[in-house]
Amino acid sequence: MQALFVGFICVCLLLASARARTAKRLNGIRPALYPGLFAFGDSILDTGNNNLLTTVMKSNFPPYGKDFAGHEPTGRFTNGQVPSDLIASKLGIKDLLPAYLSPKLSSEELLTGVCFASVSSGYDRLTSEVWSVMTIQDQLDLFKDYKKKLQAITDTERAAKIIGESIYIVCSGSNDFANTYFSSPLRRAEYDVSAYTSFLVNSASSFLEELYNLGTREIAVVGLPPLGCLPSQRTLAGGIPRDCVSSYNQASENYNVKLSREVEILQKKFVGATIIYIDIYQKLLHLIQDPSKYGFEESSKGCCGTGELEAGVLCNEKSTLCSDDSKYVFWDSFHPTEKAYEILVDELVHEILGHP
Active site residues: 43, 332, 335
CA separation for the pair 178, 184 (Å, rounded): 9
Count of beta carbons in the 10 Å neighbourhood of residue 247: 11
State the virtual CA torsion across 9, 11, 14, 20 in degrees, nearest 10: -100
CA-to-CA distance for 126 and 98, rounded, in angstroms?
26
- Among the listed residues 259, 258, 228, 260, the one whose alpha carbon sits nearest the alpha carbon of residue 246: 228
Angle between the N-to-C axes of helices 83-90 and 338-353, in degrees from 0 to 180, rounded to the nearest 10: 40
Strands 218-222 and 274-278: parallel
* Residue 7 · residue 44 · CB < 8 Å: yes
DSSP string, 54-112: SSS----STTTTTTSGGG---S-SSSS--HHHHHHHHTTS-S---BTT-TT--HHHHTT
CA angle 189, 192, 195 (to 5 degrees): 115
Report d(CA 18, CA 202) in Å as an integer: 31
The CA distances from residue 74 to 100, 288, 298, in Å, are: 13, 27, 26
Q: What is the Cα–Cα distance from 59 to 315, expressed in whole angstroms?
A: 9
Residue 65's identity, in one-letter code, is G
First to last CA, the chain: 38
Q: Which are the contacts of 145, defined by CB distance < 8 A and separation ≥ 6? A: none
